[in-house]
A and B are shown apart, each in its own frame.
Chain A
Amino acid sequence: MSTRTKGSGATWVGRAIRRLEDPALVRGQGRFTADLPAAHWVRFVRSPVAAGRIAKIEAPKGALVITSADLQGVTPILPMLHKFAYKPVGQPILADGVVRFVGEPVAAAVAASKEEAEDVADEVALSIDETDPVVDTRAALAPGAPQVQAEAPGNVILEGQIKTPDFDAAWAGAHKLVSIEARSRRQNATPIEARAGHASYDASTGRVTLTCTTQMPHVTRTAIADVLGMPESDLRIIAPDVGGGFGQKMSLASEYVLLVWLARKLKSSVAWTEDRRENLIASFHSRDQAIALAGAFDRNAKLIALKADVVANVGAYSCFPTTCGVEPLMAMAELPGPYDFRHYQCRARGVITNTCTMAPYRGVSRPVITFALERLMDKAAAVFGLEPVELRRRNLIDTFPYTSAAGLVFDEASYKETLETAALAIDVAGFRARQKQERAKRRYHGIGFAAFSERTGYGSPAFAARGMAITPGWEAVIVSVDPSGFVEARIGSSPHGQGLRTTLAQIIADEVGVTPDKVAVVHGDTDRAPYGWGTFASRSLVISGGAALIAARKVRAKLIKIAGLMLEAAPSDIVLQNGEARIAGTDRAMPIAQLAREAYTQTHRFNGEIEPGLTETGHYDPPGTFSNACHAAIVEVDIETGRVTVERYLVAEDAGRIINPMIADGQVHGGVAQGIGNALLEEIVYDENGAPLTATLADYLPPTAREIPPIELHHRETPSTNSITKAKGLGEGGGIGAPAAVINAINDALSPFGVEIDEMPATPQRIRAALRVKEQMA
């Protein structure tokens, strides 16, 4: 690794250095939760029915089987919102008399091996008196529908409303009204590592260490201590290498609570590894929303008002800590997207059903609202006889800061510029000519665009606006230089694939004057890392990165002070570079490692002017910033089979200052691939009795290398003034734009048939069904 740093005129920030995470991972030396041996293994007995009352749970003779009756003093998980008429609904750790979805944990079989625990679980006699389930929101909202939770009458767990002043007058003055019924089916984040937990008991201290696949180690500790009524200091949470999360590993798993309870009861180690079926039916789901959306446009195709009704099927319980408000309420706040209009009306409801609980998944609501809004924009373009690019050009915001109709403040971004970049790169005119020629040969191609904003890196005020009882937002980073000159940064974020060890090392290296390989970033251990909120919501690089910069600047200032003392020079004359502190323009220098050693061992020379040691803390709680992008897709639809091939995919994105371009590109690639999967393939299906039909990866279909075309990236960097590193988050954007771009392209391809697909995923079955209706009419 070269040793050029800031002082020498080059910085580590902005360079595509290889990841510090990789050497262990490519050797198979990653440490994942399921790698740990345990004395006891747990297999959960799960409800086979969507709704019912438990009549009997009978364990096989001599076997250890835990039920809710054993969990005296353990309280339910109780997520809370103080707004939006939210009805607090508790989730018992094991079903307490009533089951509410297929897959709900009812009992825990414990044995010496996984196989034996499965044998015991198979022999548990479970008898449930079935009741009528409600599976979809229409059934749940019908008068007289069965009540899933007594606390939520009419099965509505929350309702948000917004209506700007003078909305009705603006609506009445519209030149044209355009509307759409958009539907996103239920999806699953599907990390390749399913969830796993391992709890061990230390007899000498009574402490439990829970190693688990979480994105939020500290919040997991707080929550489990609350539910079990134990001191938080008796619990240590470790998130080791975590095999992807995408939001699914944010929410508290009731299974982890039980593992900690069991480790304390058995005074031993207890483990559970979720299998794929459990993950697909009983981990967290997402995206299940219906949005009725209408736009009022003036004569010039300028949007003047937007009206929305959002219904989210949030499943049987509310997820902790965000609550199930996360999808419908984000829809309400962010539906206006990057468009300039003043009048907005929205109602957003969360509806409880007898299905698996919904929770955040990469993009949270925005893949769905972007899909709905961008479909509306394409319909409006058709109504006005404009190219979709032209309609967007007339409506995108371009002055900043901009306060949206929903009251969000957008910082400097490049909505129009990225649209133009995408349109130019994909060559709309050239495509239209080819499209026409191909249609003559009965081949159907389409082009689709998606322009959107991605709110990222938001701190506690943004979360507080939602009224969350648990209000996340800030981060802490502790940067130390040890007496050997190595730098350690302990962080509250908890990356699991994002490369944060590398990007934070780049930020810190520039300040401290060392190479990134001398900076070890420590995360995922509540005994080692400061309290923090973990990794989610495209926040870690912005917020932990900001905190790291603040802490590293303090370390830098102290190093310079010590160097000034040791070299007998004014601090302003000292430069830190190439691992040493030098008096500028001279050959007088001291290695940073030596300064670090003296910070601990030569403090008697500091005359009381400098505190001993070399450890500094940074806290950061930013207001939030908006990344933006325009995606463009070209697809071909085989009208005989409904098969969609994505021929070309292009992203023009702007996430502010890029810390490591290689890692940034990788985040966008991964998001786009999930978005294409969400658009075309991925769907959790329930039958009318609430039985999940997609319980293997042969039924629930994440895309393979075959379905994902080469992804072309165009970058812009509009530095954020709301982020001290100038970086904006970009973890989710790829997945936010892709469903809209792909399905707009499908609709463009199908336009000769007068067919519209406003549902994701746009599966071959749905495309064929729509075409069949037209064929029969013809």
Chain B
Amino acid sequence: MSEKINITLNINSRAHAIAVEPRRTLADAIREDCGQTGTHIGCEHGICGACTVLLDGEPVRACLMFAVQAAGKYIRTVEGLADGDKLHPIQQAFMDHHGLQCGFCTPGFLMLAVGVLEREPDIADEDLLDVLSSNLCRCTGYQNIVKAVRAAAKEMRGK
């Protein structure tokens, strides 16, 4: 065990002052040190994307970063999507279009989709498919994830 370092993670506009070993991944820190367990861990190799969060607006694999690297950045996780009782359009679209089954990969897909749609609301269908192929889902066969993200894109453009 190596010495712990004091850092502050800003998650969904809330500051979490934590002490972590330098080797602590961002995914573990978000879940275990900050108690935000909505971000899931599926492979710890950066392949499945279940741990996708937004870091200064960009989707990143939280399992491939150290927590200390995220200090001072603006982190968004699934817990920050809804505005109180009002779901984010992407959450609503996943429910409306049955874009989830077991729900384990869902937070990662939601953050991936929000990241790309905020940056590129008019993204072409084919490009969107490329982006969504960043993450793995084993339940849905992606049919309804693609539908849901397209529906959310439309909704978000309308605003």
The interface of chain A, by Cβ under 8 A from chain B, is: 18-19, 21-23, 25-30, 32, 34-35, 37, 114-116, 119, 190-194, 241-244, 246, 273, 275-276, 496-499, 662-663, 665-666, 669-674, 696-698, 702, 704-706, 708, 710-711, 734
B contact residues around A276 at 8 Å (CB): 42-45, 48
Name the residue on B nearest A22 (C-beta). B95
Give the shortest distance, in Å, between B63 (CB) and chain A (any CB): 10
B78 and A27 contacting across the interface, CB-CB below 8 Å: yes
Report if B37 contacts A (CB, 8 A): yes
**A37-B34 Cα distance, complex, nearest whole Å:** 12
Q: Is the CB of A696 within 8 A of B47?
A: yes
Nearest-Cβ distance from residue A641 to partner chain B, whole angstroms: 19
Please indicate which of the listed interface residues B32, B42, B142 has the most CB atoms of chain A within 10 Å of its own CB: B142
Known contacts A192-B50, A194-B42, A702-B136: A708-B141 contact under CB 8 Å: yes
Partner-binding segment picked from B65-73, B100-108, B115-123: B100-108
| Cβ–Cβ contact A241 & B103, under 8 A | yes
Which residues of chain B are within 8 angstroms of A708 by Cβ–Cβ distance? Answer: 141-143
A711 to B44, CA, bound (A): 31
Q: Could you tell me if A242 and B102 are in contact, using CB atoms closer than 8 angstroms? A: yes
In angstroms, Cα B106 to Cα A405, docked, is 45
| Further pairs besides A497-B101, A670-B139: 9, Cβ < 8 Å | A26-B87, A26-B94, A28-B39, A28-B77, A241-B104, A669-B140, A697-B43, A704-B133, A706-B133
CA distance A739 to B47 in the complex (A): 24
Who on chain B is nearest to A677 by CB? B138
Q: Are A37 and B141 in contact (CB under 8 A)?
A: no
Q: Which residue of B lies closest to A111 (CB)?
A: B1
- Residues A119 and B1 in contact, CB atoms below 8 Å apart: yes
Known A19-B98, A666-B98, A670-B141: A29·B38 in contact at CB below 8 Å: yes
Given contacts A37-B32, A698-B47, A705-B129, contact A497 B39 (CB under 8 A): no
Binding site secondary structure of chain B: loop
* A115 and B22 alpha carbons, distance in the complex (Å): 12
Are B45 and A497 in contact (CB-based, < 8 A)? no
Given contacts A26-B110, A28-B78, contact A190 B138 (CB under 8 A): yes
25 contacts across the A-B interface (CB closer than 8 A): A18-B96, A19-B95, A22-B94, A22-B100, A25-B103, A25-B106, A27-B78, A27-B81, A115-B21, A192-B104, A192-B105, A241-B104, A243-B102, A276-B44, A499-B101, A669-B142, A670-B140, A673-B142, A674-B141, A696-B45, A698-B47, A704-B134, A706-B133, A708-B142, A734-B141
User: Could you tell me the dominant secondary structure of chain A's interface residues?
Assistant: loop
Report if A705-B133 is in contact (Cβ < 8 Å); known contacts: A28-B39, A35-B37.
Answer: yes
Considering only residues 1-31 of chain B, those with a C-beta below 8 Å from chain A are: 1, 21, 23-24, 28, 31
Q: Which residues of A contact B133 (CB under 8 A)?
A: 704-706
Q: Give which listed residue, A114, A697, A710, contacts B136 with CB less than 8 A.
A: A697
Enumerate chain B residues within 8 angstroms of A674, measured Cβ to Cβ: 138, 141
B156 within 8 A of A: no
Given the contacts A192-B138, A705-B146, A23 and B95 also touching, CB distance less than 8 Å: yes
Chain A residues lying within 8 Å of B137, measured Cβ to Cβ, are 192
CB of B145 closer than 8 Å to a CB of A: yes
Q: Judging by beta carbons under 8 Å apart, are B103 and A30 in contact?
A: yes
Contact of A27 with B82 in the complex, beta carbons under 8 Å? yes
Residue on A nearest B134 in the bound complex, by CB: A704
- Determine the chain A residues whose CB is within 8 A of the CB of B82 once the complex forms: 27
Instruction: Indicate if B41 sits at the interface (CB-CB under 8 A).
Output: yes
**Quick one: closest A residue to B93, CB to CB?**
A26
In the complex, A361→B25 CA distance in Å?
32
Query: Contact: B103 with A21, CB < 8 Å?
Result: yes
